[in-house]
Structure 1
Amino acid sequence: LRLKCLLVERDVTNLLEKSFQNKKSNLTHSEKETLDELCRNKDIVIKPADKGGGLVIMPRALYNHEVFRQLENTSYYQALPSDPTTLFQSEIEKFIQEAHFHQLISDKEMRYLLNRSLTRPVFYIVPKVHKTLVNPPGRPIQLYQMFIRMLYWQLWPLPHCILTFHIMKV
């Protein structure tokens, strides 16, 4: 059985190596250089279009103006006095330490969970070029849902009984 596993592992490794070796770029050398140059240009922003699957290249100043216009809409956004990420992180740490104190998780599990860091949510816009090509409005993308998912996934390794214990206690 062990020999069979080693042979299968070798075959899979060979197959993967061959598939990576046969991959060729669909860009010419000149196109690749142009793309690299565009990516290094700090005066432009490259974003996906809101609809249609296209790419939009726009001046950074115009992009920033639209982002700030969106964020200044107080019907949807408000400035926070401080970054709440550290508060979330500290609450998670307290929760994990409490679970460890009640011997619901081991030392190893606690170290694993405490070594994970949160990434702050991101806000950006995708230009609505289907509306107008000149100064297109942007559709705001808030990655707060992803941030909440990250909080959830940080706690996911904890057994269900620990999460239930904490919820019932609150």
Structure 2
Amino acid sequence: MINTTDKNTTEPKVVWNFSNRNLAEEELRVLEKGMSYNHSCTVNRSKVISNVEYLFHQASKIPKESIDFKKWDEDPDDIANKEIRVLEPKQLSLAADLKSTTEKFFQHAQMSIKMRKDKNLNGNHDDKILLKLSKDLSILITKPDKGRGVVILDRNDYIEKLEKILSDNKKFKLLNQDPTISRQNALTTVLRQMKNEEYFTQQEYKYIKPVGSVPARLYGLPKVHKNNVPLRPIVS
């Protein structure tokens, strides 16, 4: 265990190294910054705009219909014969407000990112160190079961401990097939029946209907203060 304290704070930043890898000083320096360290964050404009558009369609109750762009391209002069949606004053006002708020968000986000980059001149070098650590398949870097910090484990040891947890027949059972989709379909059937009986609207049905369900993922968080560093299983 390596315990360090930041010069600007009394909070200790701890790195537990239970692996067989010897950490270089520069690797330790980067890991001490914690699991949430990320100097090179960016804003995905396309994703933000897509989410805002979805919010607009939900709030204004305008169905988001697909447009046949190919047909428009084939005959661009025939716009008069195309169906054009006319927004109501309230919808236009909402669209303008969302656009203004989104632009302000982008401006503040870019300023925040620039300030973070200016304060961290070693960012690119840190990225290379983290990339090198991530490519070492003999280790696994995670967080402790309780509190803050960074834990480095031997990957094989981590897998062995998880397999031991899964071997407990009282808590886990091996299935021949994944029941996730069948349960999703069963729930969808019930929701569709409730919609048909007018317990909720078509729009509400689309919002609550499960789509793309996947089985839960199991991982372990190391109990760093216990002998042999056991794992606490987490189902996410």
TM-score by length of 2: 0.49
Instruction: Identify if the C-alpha distance between structure 1 residues 91 and 17 changes in structure 2 by more than 3 Å, giving closer, same or farther.
Output: same
Q: What is the Cα deviation at residue 48 of structure 1?
A: 0.7
Mapping of residues 12-161 of structure 1, within 5 Å: 13-24=106-117, 26=120, 28=122, 29-114=124-209, 116-132=211-227, 135-143=228-236
CA contact (8 A) 1:85 1:120 kept: yes
- Worse overlay, 55-64 or 29-38: 29-38
The CA distance in 2 between the partners of 1:101 and 1:94, in whole Å, is 11
CA contact (8 A) 2:180 2:215 kept: yes
The AA in structure 2 aligned to 1:57 is I
The CA distance in 1 between the partners of 2:121 and 2:168, in whole Å, is 42
Unaligned runs of 5+ in 1: 144-170
Question: SS in structure 1 opposite 2:185?
Answer: helix
- Worse overlay, 121-130 or 15-24: 15-24
Alignment match, 2:49? none
Unaligned runs of 5+ in 2: 1-92
Higher helix share: 1
The CA distance in 1 between the partners of 2:174 and 2:164, in whole Å, is 14
Q: What is the Cα deviation at residue 123 of structure 1?
A: 0.9
The AA in structure 1 aligned to 2:194 is A
The AA in structure 1 aligned to 2:216 is P
Q: What is the Cα deviation at residue 55 of structure 1?
A: 1.4
Q: What is the Cα deviation at residue 111 of structure 1?
A: 4.1
Instruction: Identify if the C-alpha distance between structure 1 residues 27 and 118 changes in structure 2 by more than 3 Å, giving closer, same or farther.
Output: farther
Aligned length: 139
The AA in structure 2 aligned to 1:65 is E
Give the number of the structure whose alpha-carbon radius of gyration is greater: 2
CA contact (8 A) 2:188 2:210 kept: no
Question: SS in structure 2 opposite 1:124?
Answer: strand
Instruction: Identify if the C-alpha distance between structure 1 residues 139 and 17 changes in structure 2 by more than 3 Å, giving closer, same or farther.
Output: same
Question: SS in structure 2 opposite 1:23?
Answer: helix
The AA in structure 2 aligned to 1:74 is N
Alignment match, 1:160? none
Question: SS in structure 2 opposite 1:141?
Answer: strand
Identical residues among aligned pairs (%): 26
The AA in structure 2 aligned to 1:22 is M
CA deviation profile, 1:34-82 (whole Å, cap 9, x unmatched)? 1112123333211111234221112221111000011112232222343
TM-score by length of 1: 0.65
CA deviation profile, 1:138-169 (whole Å, cap 9, x unmatched)? 111123xxxxxxxxxxxxxxxxxxxxxxxxxx
The CA distance in 1 between the partners of 2:136 and 2:121, in whole Å, is 19
